[in-house]
Amino acid sequence: MAQEAQQNGNKDEALSIFSKYQSSFARRLKKPEAMSMLMTEFNLTEIEAQIFFQAFDKDKNDVLSLWEFRQFYQTIGANAHDMIELFRKLEKDNSGNVDIDKAFEALKNVDSGKGKLSEEEIAMFLKTTAGESKTIDLHKFLNMMCRLKVYKGVE
């Protein structure tokens, strides 16, 4: 256990947070515990926590595994509230969808895994995120921001 809490010599913060809400050694949190963790540890409202839970419960089993939580923590973590605020700033007339033009401008200032994005890369991210509906709701927005964080560019 002590060795598991160490990762490259650093304390494993994701495991520390996750462990506070575990009721067994299964390394899984049922939805109520996971929601409580997201609201308490990341200062999210119940609705925001619900959206993050749905986005990261990859197998849609209403359980957040340690692996799924690590994905959340490594790509969003402490920035969860900031991402929600950014979405709200980019939202078009309280429609639940971002204004694509505002998002294009905002993404010019966002760092990806490779640094600043080119206009072509921004257009690609927005187009692939919006899809056929040509809309980006909060769930799609969070997914896009996670993809941006790990994006390294095309070689």
Predicted confidence pLDDT, tens digits, the chain (155 residues): 444 444 444 568 999 999 999 887 889 999 999 999 999 999 999 998 999 999 999 999 999 999 999 999 988 888 898 899 999 999 998 899 999 999 999 999 988 888 899 999 999 999 999 999 999 999 899 989 988 888 887 65
CA dist., res. 75 & res. 129, Å (int): 17
**pTM > 0.85: yes or no:** no
44: helix, strand or coil = coil
Question: What CA–CA distance (Å, rounded) separates 64 from 26?
Answer: 11
Give the DSSP per-residue string, 9-29: TEE-HHHHHHHTT-SSSSSEE
